[in-house]
Amino acid sequence: MGIIFYLKDFFSSNDVADNFIVSLYPMKGNIKIWMPVLLAVVLVMGIQMGLLLSGGDKISFGGDKNLSSMDEVLAYVAAKYVDTVNLASLKQKGIEALLLQLDPHSIFISNEKLLEVNQQIHGSFEGVGIEFSSLFDTATVVNVIQGGPSSQAGIKKGDKIVSVNDILVAGKVYSEDSIKSKLKGVGGTKVKVGIKRLGTNELKYFTIIRGKIQVASVTASYMINNEIGYIRLERFSETSEDELHSSLNKLKEAGMKKLILDLRGNGGGVLDVSVNIADEFLSEKKLVVYTVGRVYPKKEYYTGKSGLFEKGALCLLIDDGSASASEILAGALQDYDRATIVGRRSFGKGLVQEQYTLSDSSGLRLTIARYFTPSGRSIQKPYKEGAESYNHEMLNRYGKGELTNKDSIKLTDTTKYYTESGRVVYGGGGIVPDVFVVLDTSFFGSSIAGLSLELIQASAYQFAINYSRVFTESDVKLIEPTLKISFSNLNGVQKKQLLYNLSNLSARMLKDENEYFRFQNNTDNDVLKAVELLNKK
């Protein structure tokens, strides 16, 4: 019986062991006769169980005893899991889940996305240089980058993209992302595009040689009146400083004495670039920002040269889309009382990331420090409640009435900080503007009387293509069949929103970016408030 119990201990299923016991039961009559057979069976079973334990239940790790539990788990999943799994995807999800335990801005970047991320930092990418939108199931060119590959090949706004490399791409089956992937490619390579142009019946074919496309940081720069200039800065990339410097020079030559710098919707970028741009507006040896990390000592960033606009009245426009480097610039100019901050509370990102390229060419963007404005403010909003709460914070601002009432703004840091002139400012949730402008909430919502924004956009662009003019109220009847509504049946707010969207979209189609923003700013409440303030200075 001792041998039988010994064998039973090696099986994971008692059923298997019990069956083995039954098969040996007849030997009880003559143990001497059955002993050789028993020993042979024991020997064979011992060999089989040894193989089972070494090659079946256990996985060899090549003698490496320092593997993490995660590596071991993945090895077992790869070898034993009931279904086939994509280990690379599983690893990525595991890393993403791990980083979510840290903060919302420490992220993993797949190798497919890393190139795109780096292009944003460098301010350029390789492609064909067009922007298109799907209008009534056909991709239609709404912007052509001047001097880019498509512009040189002869592509124009309003052209409909029917085929790419002789592959039909018109129709619902092709998404914008699918068409983009066909147009993208390495610089110097060619792509053949079939175009349907207004006024022509046959397709026109263009061969575009892909090339380097410069992504503008300054998307608008013009004089509002004889004294006030306007510059819209949409990102902080490696080219931003030079672009801003050039724009300031041109506006000064045009007589600029006062400036509106628009950072609304600017999600940030390179920290050093924000410091260099602050240098254009602050005198030398001014602290712009400082950073502190667990393993990184305090590092201070100062202005170091004479700027182009250190004197003269300045208004800085911000909103809830202004983040990171935008907030560094806004915070510094506010702390020194150099600019009047106009608009609504900024995003609230006060964490500094460093980007690392991993061995498989993927990337890790890891938070390594916090940054502080010259007065000592950290403007990072809370994130300890988790990613979902953090991501819904912007929506909560609207729900709490913050966009229409400055008094509803609640920051988490109650410490009083002081600007250079002694004004009290606070941290813990973004930059609060000096002059609050109520957001026109009549423009909120994804539809107007059941109309999707996509349909409105398509109608506006198609109108601009057909009539070559900016949409006005008198043009409503022309597109009512397309929209399938009666304008007279809309209420006042709906009419206002529809006309605003249609006129701005058609203006974008017909004008370049600079002229488009000039047109849009004529009715922009933030810009109008800034002009009002500057006219008094």
Secondary structure of residue 81 in the 3-state scheme: coil
Query: For residue 522, what are its two tokens?
Result: 């004529």
> Of 106, 150, 240, 324, which one is the catalytic site residue?
324
Q: Which runs of E-coded beta strand occur in 38-106?
A: none
> Of 335, 375, 381, 506, which one is the catalytic site residue?
335
Q: Which runs of E-coded beta strand occur in 374-463?
A: 417-418, 424-425, 435-436, 447-448, 451-452
Query: For residue 315, what are its two tokens?
Result: 């208004």
SS3 content of the chain, % helix, strand, coil (to 5): 40, 20, 40
Q: What is 123-191 written as a DSSP string?
A: TEEEE--EEEEEETTEEEEEEE-TTSHHHHHT--TT-EEEEETTEE--STTS-HHHHHHHH---TT-EE
324 is catalytic: yes
Is residue 357 a contact partner of residue 114, using CB atoms and an 8 Å limit?
Answer: yes
375 is catalytic: no
| Cβ count within 10 A of residue 435 | 15
Cα–Cα distance, 265 to 212 (Å, whole number): 25
Terminal C-alpha separation, the chain:
104
DSSP state of 434: S
Cα–Cα distance, 105 to 366 (Å, whole number): 7
Buried (b) or exposed (e) across 192-220, using 16+ Cβ within 10 A?
ebbbbbeeeeeeeeeebebbebbbbbbbb
> Of 258, 286, 349, 529, which one is the catalytic site residue?
349
Cα–Cα distance, 99 to 91 (Å, whole number): 12
Buried (b) or exposed (e) across 368-394, using 16+ Cβ within 10 A?
ebbbbbbbebbbbbebeeeeeebeebe
Q: Which amino acid is at 516?
A: Y
Distance of CA 49 to the CA centre of its chain: 55
Cα–Cα distance, 508 to 532 (Å, whole number): 26
Is residue 537 a contact partner of residue 258, using CB atoms and an 8 Å limit?
Answer: yes
Cα–Cα distance, 454 to 147 (Å, whole number): 29
| Alpha-carbon distances of 117 from 136, 364, 510, rounded to whole Å | 31, 11, 30
Residues labelled as active-site residues: 324, 335, 349
